[in-house]
């Protein structure tokens, strides 16, 4: 994370298993978490100037028979949050894994969605992944979906 924040001025979001908690109340039962470990994680988040995107659903994202912990989360830069202010992080129910999956929803308006897809298609063309005819066809398809 430190490398990302030092190198990049673009908006970005990162989510997943950080294998650490920020506060003691993010762990229920089990061995007490080291304050030094939590402080180290908080300092990295603060240094990177990241915003915790919060969650909807269970507070805990990892569980075994005895302990529940919030290990999985989503962070973003303020630039990213300005672009996607309606972001919602849903903690889905545990199923196969001992980690609860996270579902990040951006909640774009139709116009925002159109321009987002439009930009992605142009990036693909600039990168040489698609040609002009594929670009034109894709833009027509995007427009028909937004109407």
d(CA 89, CA 53): 7
Supply the DSSP symbol for 128: T
Shared domain for 17 and 32, answered yes or no, is yes
Q: What is the per-residue pLDDT across 16-51, written as a single tens digit (0 to 9) for each?
A: 999 999 999 999 998 888 899 999 999 999 998 899
Domain that holds residue 136: 110-146
CATH classification at residue 26: 3.60.10.10
Shared domain check, 138 and 70: no
Domain match, 37 and 58 both: yes
For the question of whether the overall pTM of this predicted structure is more than 0.85, the answer is no
Strands of the 72-77 sheet, one edge to the other: 13-17, 72-77, 50-52
Number of structural domains found in the chain: 2
> 88 and 20 in one domain?
yes
Q: Provide mean pLDDT across the span 93-99.
A: 89
Task: Indicate whether 14 and 77 sit together in one domain.
Answer: yes
The CA-based angle 105-109-115, given to 5 degrees, is: 100
Q: What whole-number distance in Å separates Cα of residue 63 and Cα of residue 57? A: 15
pLDDT value, residue 25: 94
């Amino acid at each position: 994370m430190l490398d990302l924040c030092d190198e990049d001025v673009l908006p970005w979001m990162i989510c997943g298993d950080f294998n650490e908690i920020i506060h003691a109340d993010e762990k229920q039962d089990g061995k007490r978490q080291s304050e030094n470990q939590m402080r180290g994680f908080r300092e990295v988040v603060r240094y990177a100037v990241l915003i915790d995107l919060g969650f909807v659903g269970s507070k805990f994202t990892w569980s075994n028979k005895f302990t529940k912990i919030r290990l999985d989360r989503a962070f973003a830069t303020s630039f990213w949050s300005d672009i996607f202010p309606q972001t919602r992080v849903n903690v889905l129910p545990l199923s196969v894994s001992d980690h609860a999956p996270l579902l990040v929803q951006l909640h774009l308006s139709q116009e925002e969605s159109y321009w987002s897809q439009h930009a992605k298609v142009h990036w693909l063309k600039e990168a040489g992944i698609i040609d002009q005819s594929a670009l034109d066809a894709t833009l027509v398809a995007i427009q028909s979906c937004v109407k």
